[in-house]
Amino acid sequence: MDLRKSVGKQNELALRVANHVITTTDAKTSNLVFSPASINVVLSFLAAKSGGSTADHILSLLQASSTKELNAVSAKIVTDILADRTASGGPTISTANGVWIDKTLSVETSFKDLIENSYKAAFNLVDFRTKADEVAEEVNEWVKNQTRGLITDLIRSVSPMTDLIFANALFFHGRWDEEFKPSFTKDSDFHRLDGTKLRVPFMSAYFSCKHRLELYQGFKVLQLPYKGGSNDDRCFSMLICLPDEKNGLHAMMERLASCRGFLNGDGDIRGECVDVGEVKIPKFKFGFDLDVSEALKGLGLETPLEKIAHKAFIEVDEVGTKAAAATAMSCFGGPMLRKYYDFVADHPFLFIVKEYRSGLVMFLGQVLDPSMH
């Protein structure tokens, strides 16, 4: 299995989901953040558990050859791509899977092996029939602990008819490779999509050699790397995709969602790497709830017996990024004069947090109003 190739194919779903959610829900007027990595792990488990037409639809969405491939990718994500590197100076990362199954059900050995070996999930036998509310509290407490308290109340209610809950939790805390100086942070205008302006704190940097800027037709992309750990060949970064036009976010999103390979850096759209002048990015902090079942229904995947809930949170400041997400499935050039390009994110933009070796997209979202919490 080529891990990067498999992850790259799964990434194609991320921008399609984002574009669909933005155009069909309240997200068209609000900030958005979700975790493609977390959602894809749950979809992979659903494919393995369900088989049949459900598995076929998920394999099509994630462009995978088999559920075996999806299981192998999920195992590598947990054990390799998202391994914690706090001790060596890298990002603090934790990801975990959990399964809660009603105690009245018989669990085949092969299914338990799938849960414990491919998904590295904690296995819990519970009583949905008479203590559904208590199980919901147990799952929510597990999610809260795994995400350092950033994601709470993921599951609102659980039916006594529930047979199984599968949940994934993801936490990321990375420091910028070159932190922004707090003394440079100043209030400035941010232009919203409706034409109004508001004053918000902008972090600033000048002529940084750590930041990478690429110009595309109609938009530009800034790459902000996080500190890596010693003896770690992974590379975590945030990408900020800023349309040239103040109100160009939705058009840019539609274009990116329709082009293959952009998130993997090998797509049809090519950019030109240029020198960075001034960088101005607003500080932001917000959460978002997403009904994954509804979003996927719009992309052709009906899951009538499953409900997939998702919550995510992100905070960006001068030091770095703190982000968390949880997903739960309930079943029933030369010495020439250089030109420097400024990057002033003073209008709505897209952001992506990814690991470059594998291409895994951990978080993706939009900022329409940095003052919204």
- Interatomic CA distance for residues 346 and 279, integer angstroms: 11
- Interatomic CA distance for residues 123 and 96, integer angstroms: 12
Rounded mean pLDDT of 267-296? 93
- Interatomic CA distance for residues 256 and 143, integer angstroms: 32
Instruction: Please give the pLDDT value at position 258.
Output: 87
- Interatomic CA distance for residues 284 and 231, integer angstroms: 31
Q: What percent of the chain has pLDDT over 90?
A: 80
Q: With left for phi above 0 and alpha for psi between -120 and 50, is residue 16 left, alpha or beta?
A: alpha
Instruction: Please give the pLDDT value at position 28.
Output: 82
- Interatomic CA distance for residues 329 and 292, integer angstroms: 9
Phi (first) and psi of residue 175, to 5 degrees: -95, 140
Neighbours of 252 (CB within 10 A): 20
Residue-range domains of the chain with CATH: 3-174+285-330 (3.30.497.10), 178-284+334-367 (2.30.39.10)
pTM for the full predicted model: 0.93
Q: pLDDT digits over 191-225, tens only?
A: 999 999 999 999 999 999 999 999 999 999 999 99
What totals of helices (H) and strands (E) does the chain contain, helices first? 8, 16
- Interatomic CA distance for residues 27 and 292, integer angstroms: 13
Q: SS3 of 8, please?
A: helix
Instruction: Please give the pLDDT value at position 338.
Output: 62
- Interatomic CA distance for residues 156 and 4, integer angstroms: 36
Q: pLDDT digits over 7-47, tens only?
A: 999 999 999 999 999 888 778 889 999 999 999 999 999 99
Cβ–Cβ under 8 Å, residues 127 and 103: yes
